[in-house]
Chains A and B, each alone.
Chain A
Amino acid sequence: MNANPLLKGSLQTIILKLLEDNSQMYGYEITQRVKEVSEGSIVLTEGALYPALHKLEADGFLETFTQVVDNRVRKYYRLTDAGGKEVTSKLSEAQAFIDQLQTLLNLKPATK
């Protein structure tokens, strides 16, 4: 993922939201969708995606199934019921954080 630590901390929220909107996705598809939605400004790199996906799977928020595509196994991820609830909670957290940040930053007028 690109170097912005704020974005790094939001990776799980991004994945959960994408899966809520797309029902099922595979690893490469997620990286491309993030790039597309952010118009290239966010690129999932440095192996951040797969550990995050597997952690969400281990926590019971995602489940997987596989399909054979072009003679190779493709692993798809989809939200579990717990994952569906987690999306709402993560989005509320993200929204609250953005609101707090906005309030804090608005206290100090920009200096030139």
Chain B
Amino acid sequence: MKPTEAQKLSLQTYLHDTLSYRETYEEIYDHILSAMEFQPEGVSFEDAINNIIRNDFGGAKNLVKIETESKNAMVKEGLNKFLRFVTQYFKLPLLLYTVLATVQTYYFLSKINPGAIAIEAILVLLTMLVPCAIHLLRLYNTGYLLSTTRKSARDKMFDNLAAGPIRLLLLLNVWIANTSTFNEWFGSHPYIITMVLLVCTVYDLALYQLYTDEFKTVTEHKRV
């Protein structure tokens, strides 16, 4: 059975109304259309859809349950990937670069004190501007590459990851404000600043890798 364009549109509308995330929508839509090809010609379009949803997904109500389970799995997979991207900077061969960059940063901070304003500016860049830029790039590419503005199951996870480093910046500033003056503190704690810069840089790099990883599959399908 080959559905007409109007029938496909009505199926799309139904699935858009039932499902929240584009990932589950795409997978279930493809499954239903693939199954439609094997439905007998005599069956009406509505009956064919109902048969597939009932037999393959356990009914319309189960679609939402499947979507929730899929979302949880996608979030878990995303977080695992992020953790893998972070830890790779502490394993060979990237560990060599991490150590080299850390030693250089420490040397620079301890020999040439760039001052509180310069360090604060670098911290703002690493904890706010870079994560925000990656977040905005992800939103832009969702619309540009996927031609959709529908929600992704990974949106919330990405929002939380992008907003994470800002908390570190706030905590650090509150701590410094309560212990000493900014100029004095930044001048006398090069090792702590080095560690903070290291953590923030690795975090941003891992976030960028997570973002590119999500669109890697899209590039693959754009090529086909």
CB distance from B214 to the nearest CB of A (A): 11
Which stretch of A12-20, A61-69, A85-93, A99-107 is in the interface? A61-69
CB distance from A79 to the nearest CB of B (A): 15
The answer to whether A46 and B220 touch (CB under 8 A), given A51-B66, A51-B70, A72-B30, is no
Q: Are A54 and B217 in contact (CB under 8 A)?
A: no
How long is the Cα–Cα vector from A46 to B66 in the complex, in angstroms? 10
The answer to whether A73 and B73 touch (CB under 8 A), given A45-B56, A65-B217, A65-B221, is no
How long is the Cα–Cα vector from A67 to B26 in the complex, in angstroms? 11
Q: Are B221 and A67 in contact (CB under 8 A)?
A: yes
Q: List residues of chain A with CB within 8 A of the CB of B221.
A: 65-68, 73
Q: Among B30, B70, B80, B218, point to the contact of A74 (Cβ < 8 A).
A: B30
Q: List residues of chain B with CB within 8 A of the CB of A54.
A: 69-70, 73-74, 77
Assign chain A's interface to a size class.
20 to 34
State whether the Cβ of B34 lies closer than 8 Å to any Cβ in chain A.
Answer: yes
Which stretch of B57-65, B113-121, B170-178, B194-202 is in the interface? B57-65
Q: Are B26 and A31 in contact (CB under 8 A)?
A: no
Q: Are B220 and A50 in contact (CB under 8 A)?
A: no
The answer to whether A67 and B220 touch (CB under 8 A), given A57-B73, A60-B80, is yes
Q: Are B224 and A75 in contact (CB under 8 A)?
A: no
Where chain A touches its partner, the secondary structure class is: mixed
Q: List residues of chain A with CB within 8 A of the CB of B63.
A: 47
Contacts of B142-170 to chain A: CB distance below 8 A = none
Q: Are B224 and A67 in contact (CB under 8 A)?
A: yes
The answer to whether A58 and B220 touch (CB under 8 A), given A46-B58, A72-B30, A73-B30, is no
Residue ranges of B at the interface with A (Cβ–Cβ < 8 Å): 23, 26-31, 33-35, 55-58, 62-63, 65-66, 69-70, 72-74, 76-77, 80, 217-218, 220-222, 224
Residue ranges of A at the interface with B (Cβ–Cβ < 8 Å): 26-29, 31, 43-47, 49-51, 54-55, 57-58, 60, 64-70, 72-75
- Could you list 19 A-B pairs, sorted by A, with CB under 8 Å? A26-B34, A27-B31, A31-B56, A43-B55, A44-B56, A47-B66, A51-B70, A54-B69, A66-B217, A66-B218, A67-B220, A68-B222, A69-B30, A72-B26, A73-B26, A73-B30, A73-B221, A75-B26, A75-B30
New A-B pairs, 9, CB < 8 Å, besides A55-B69, A68-B221:
A45-B58, A46-B62, A47-B57, A50-B27, A58-B76, A65-B220, A66-B26, A70-B33, A73-B30
